[in-house]
Amino acid sequence: MKVLLITLAIGDKYLQIYNLLFRQSHEEYAQRYGYDFKIITNFLSSNTDLSTPHPHLIRFQKILVCSQPFSAEYDYIIFIDAYILINTTNAPALHNIIDYGDKIGIVDEYSQPTPKLRIHLQKQHNCEDNATDYYKLAGLDINTDKVLNTGVLVMQPAKHAGFLLDIYNKYARMAINHSRRFVYEQSCIGYELQKTNNYVLLDNKWNALWALYRDTKWYTNLQEMYTENYLIHFAGKCDYHLVHKIIR
């Protein structure tokens, strides 16, 4: 199997933060399992009329990684967000951790730390309190109890390139100035994955959102969470100042 680990860091400031806090763990993990490693620092080709790069389209670049000139070289492409820290000591190889079949591997963030605690947290923050309403806020109608987090995607280019490109072509232009801003991309991808049943769930250890566990006091501290999980997701720039304090 040939596997590519890839991330996205477009913009000098974003790349600088990534290099400082997270890049080393990505490179070490890729090296440990013999994965190729790549950083997207410029907009990718989509073969659409979206010829002018727009900052609101940055997050959609992740679903173009299976349809690039380099993509066909790989059996699996694993995308991880640039603000995810990998526990390189404990994390096993992701490309064969489960039988993916023809599906895309992804984590359900609405089960973190538990479904009940997540809904409680949503209500505390005066946010939508169910997954169906999460998608409705992006104009998407689906009856579900899952919100799929696109911070980690395990994809097979030969099987998923066309599917993901179709999602980009259908939704990317609407991301410009959309009211849902940075969660619009996640809403669209998660909606299409669920609607077509084209996903398989990974254990939450593969994309554990620190803010959710912190705010529910599930772990005593970040060090404990790091020890107990494989990929720790610092979404929303949450507590970047603590990353250097983790003992690895």
Backbone angles phi, psi at 82, to 5 degrees: -70, -15
* pLDDT, tens digit (0-9, with 9 covering 90-100), for 123-173: 999 999 999 999 999 999 999 999 999 999 999 999 999 999 999 999 998
Q: Mind giving me the DSSP string for 162-189? A: HHHHHHHHHHGGGGTT-TTGGGHHHHHH
Q: Is residue 216 part of a domain?
A: yes
Q: Is residue 178 part of a domain?
A: yes
The confidence score (pLDDT) of residue 218 equals 97
First-to-last alpha carbon distance for the chain, in angstroms, is: 29
The confidence score (pLDDT) of residue 182 equals 86
Q: Is residue 248 part of a domain?
A: no
* pLDDT, tens digit (0-9, with 9 covering 90-100), for 27-53: 999 999 999 999 999 999 776 555 567
Domain with 201 in it? 3-238
Q: Is residue 146 part of a domain?
A: yes
Cα torsion 62, 67, 72, 74 to 10°: value is 10
Q: Is the pLDDT of residue 54 over 60?
A: yes
Closest CA to 148 of 179, 185, 175, 177: 185
- How many independent structural domains does the chain possess? 1
pTM: 0.96
CB atoms within 10 A of CB 146: 22
CB-based contact 163:195 (threshold 8 Å): no
Q: Is the pLDDT of residue 61 over 60?
A: yes
Q: Is the pLDDT of residue 60 over 70?
A: yes
Q: Is residue 210 part of a domain?
A: yes
SS3 call for 149: strand
CATH assignment at residue 114: 3.90.550.10
Q: Is residue 247 part of a domain?
A: no
SS3 content of the chain, % helix, strand, coil (to 5): 45, 15, 40
Q: Is the pLDDT of residue 84 over 90?
A: yes
Q: Is residue 243 part of a domain?
A: no
* pLDDT, tens digit (0-9, with 9 covering 90-100), for 180-224: 988 999 999 999 999 999 999 999 999 999 999 999 999 999 999
Q: Is residue 245 part of a domain?
A: no
The confidence score (pLDDT) of residue 17 equals 97
